[in-house]
Amino acid sequence: MNLILTDKPLSEALQTGKHQYVDVTKEKINPCMGCFGCWTKTPGKCVIRDSAVKIYPLIAQAENVLYISRIVYGSYDVPMKTMFERAIPVQQAFIRIHNNETHHVQRSVTPKKAVIIAYGAKD
């Protein structure tokens, strides 16, 4: 599956049956509480019940992910950053070394290619 995760409305031409399309600005995604309940109380599932619980499984299952986000003050804009933080349930609390880097152990996650398109203000 190909997933387009964006904080910018896109042309309907990109919203074809070939891609799963999610505009995070149209979803109700609350900020992560930092409680780590997704690791301890309900492993693999966020304790906050909102739109994020249907989106992070799509990220985990996708073979290709295209992230499109505005950059504000050197970081992703709030809607995309909030979604990234809420996707923590796809990882486990455990750390492993991979190619001399530390990584969280993933749950059932499809290996993927990801592309990030970042854009700035219009003016």
Per-residue pLDDT tens digits for 46-76: 999 999 999 999 999 999 999 999 999 999 9
Position 20, amino acid: Q
The residues spanned by each domain of the chain are 2-119
- pLDDT tens for residues 7-41? 988 877 666 677 889 999 999 999 999 999 999 99
Predicted pLDDT at 29: 97
| 26, 86 contact by CB (below 8 A) | no
In this structure, are residues 120 and 75 in contact, taking their beta carbons and an 8 Å threshold?
Answer: no
Strand intervals (E) in the chain: 2-6, 19-23, 64-72, 75-76, 91-98, 101-106, 113-119
Q: What is this structure's pTM?
A: 0.83
DSSP conformation letters of 104-117: EEESS----EEEEE
